[in-house]
Amino acid sequence: MADILVVDDDKDFCDELALALEQSDHTIHKAYSGAQAVETGMHLRPALLITDWMLKENIDGLNVAEVLELVNPCMRVILMTGFASNDLRSNAKYQEVFQFIEKPFRSAEIRGLVEKAFLTVEQNSSLPPIGVLELNQDNEILFSNAWAQTIIPGLRDTATRVGFSDILTVETKDPKNDMPRGSWRRAYSSSEVNKEFLVHEKQFSDGLHKLVVVLTEAHSSYSYEPLVYQTLGLPAPQARQADIDGHVLIIDNIETTRRVAAEILREFCCVCHTAQNHSEGYKLFERDGSIRHVILNFEMNKTPPVEFIRKMLKARPELRVIGSSSYGNLEEYMALGVHDFLPNPWNDDDLLRIMREGRKPISQGQAIH
């Protein structure tokens, strides 16, 4: 008997799926958002995560899986999606997702995958250096992940429940100005001199348990990583906020270009989809109503994709289209229905500047030439 966490922001679908799985011998838990899934999963540490890929917040199903693997690297992941693009399959393979299942599906199909998932257990082989502890209301350590046991002296060898203050002494004041974020505090090993850490605490919503993230000085830069503030349920630090409303779709036939662009934007709390052609891009566009920005490579075809742009804007007039090319200028592309122009080649600053400072979409009814 194992714990299974089902995640979907469509409450009715999530409830129906959970009900279908209750016929198994496993215990089913539900979450209706990525944030709820993270908090539930960090405390529950499920053996199996069944999650929708396209969640409406700034965290998708793969993000949820990445966070929860910090506390259970053996967790199996079944990813639900209305359309499994080639890039999604590649990303999921890299993250060692157990199985895709495309919506709609039959109850018997998902139950079969659940039982198959428990036949083999594999540990994620590429976990980041982030220590995670769970404390009770008496500040006793209930759980520590493998990395925490590796970096905190004496933690691995403890056979009985130990108090957090018995192994780490935490400063009561905020760190000095040179520390990454004011809510992080310095901590020192209670048994080894000159062994320092950064710690950040989060109270669970039940008021009874606490989550603590522990970083070594050598890995203090991880305090800026999306994985860490998603784990803690925190907003991104100011330096990592791009203030981009909605999700982003990147359509480019060059795999490296779309992968790099997505990685840059994800570092700034953006949910990004990538597609290698117009057909794949439109399928993603149809399935995610939160897409508000499309970065479109104009050099994919010999003729400008005017009809493709018109089709997207007809379906979603508030959409912002950003054209990218090594030739032409903004005025030329605006005449084709584009709102902004990203010249090729571009760098990180170019991409972030145009995402942050770009023009508003054209108003509904304005002509597209």
Are 139 and 212 members of one domain? yes
pLDDT tens per residue, range 38-68: 999 999 999 999 999 998 877 899 999 999 9
Of 13-27, 34-48, 227-241, 315-329, the one with minimum mean pLDDT is: 227-241
Of 68-72, 130-134, 180-184, 198-202, the one with minimum mean pLDDT is: 180-184
Are 32 and 74 members of one domain? yes
Q: How high is the pLDDT of residue 181?
A: 46
CATH number assigned to the domain comprising residue 317:
3.40.50.2300
Q: How many separate domains does the chain show? A: 3
CATH number assigned to the domain comprising residue 179:
3.30.450
Are 161 and 207 members of one domain? yes
pLDDT tens per residue, range 226-264: 899 899 988 776 656 667 888 999 999 999 999 999 999
Cα separation, 207 vs 16, whole angstroms: 29
- Is residue 368 pLDDT above 70, yes or no? no
Are 30 and 82 members of one domain? yes
169 lies in some domain? yes
Instruction: Spell out a b/e string for 263-290, using b for 16 or more CB atoms within 10 Å of the CB, else e.
Output: ebbbbbbbbbbbbbebebbbbbbebbee
Are 210 and 255 members of one domain? no
Section 358-366 average pLDDT: 45
Q: How high is the pLDDT of residue 285?
A: 96
35 lies in some domain? yes
Q: Which residues make Cβ contacts (< 8 Å) with residue 309, sequence separation at least 6?
A: 296, 321, 336, 337, 338, 368
- Is residue 122 pLDDT above 70, yes or no? yes
- DSSP E strands in 64-157: the ranges are 76-81, 99-102, 131-135, 141-144
- Is residue 220 pLDDT above 90, yes or no? yes
Q: How far is CA 300 from the centre of its chain?
A: 29
Are 10 and 111 members of one domain? yes
367 lies in some domain? no
Are 111 and 177 members of one domain? no
Section 137-158 average pLDDT: 89
Are 220 and 267 members of one domain? no
Are 353 and 274 members of one domain? yes
Section 140-169 average pLDDT: 87
Cα separation, 259 vs 330, whole angstroms: 24
Which of 239, 265, 281 is the last residue before a domain boundary?
Answer: 239
Question: What residue numbers bound the domain in which 171 lies?
Answer: 131-239
124 lies in some domain? no
Are 9 and 60 members of one domain? yes
pLDDT band at 140 (very low <50, low <70, confident <90, very high): very high
369 lies in some domain? no
Residues 188, 198 contacting (CB under 8 angstroms): no
Single out the residue of 352, 322, 353 nearest to residue 250, CA to CA: 322
122 lies in some domain? no
Q: How high is the pLDDT of residue 174?
A: 53
Q: How high is the pLDDT of residue 159?
A: 60
Helix (H, G, I), strand (E, B) or coil at 61: helix
CB neighbours of residue 225 within 10 Å: 17
pTM score: 0.83
pLDDT band at 362 (very low <50, low <70, confident <90, very high): very low
Of 73-87, 175-189, 194-208, the one with minimum mean pLDDT is: 175-189
- Is residue 344 pLDDT above 60, yes or no? yes
Which of 179, 214, 239 is the last residue before a domain boundary?
Answer: 239
- Is residue 205 pLDDT above 50, yes or no? yes
162 lies in some domain? yes
343 lies in some domain? yes
Are 198 and 275 members of one domain? no
Section 327-335 average pLDDT: 81
Task: Among 63-72, 97-106, 351-360, name the most confident range.
Answer: 63-72
Are 274 and 340 members of one domain? yes
% pLDDT > 70, the chain: 90
% pLDDT > 90, the chain: 62
Q: How high is the pLDDT of residue 238?
A: 63
Single out the residue of 72, 65, 71 nearest to residue 94, CA to CA: 65
- DSSP E strands in the chain: the ranges are 3-7, 27-31, 48-52, 76-81, 99-102, 131-135, 141-144, 168-170, 185-189, 196-203, 210-216, 247-251, 272-275, 291-297, 320-325, 340-343
pLDDT tens per residue, range 285-311: 999 999 999 999 999 987 889 999 999
Which of 213, 239, 265 is the last residue before a domain boundary?
Answer: 239
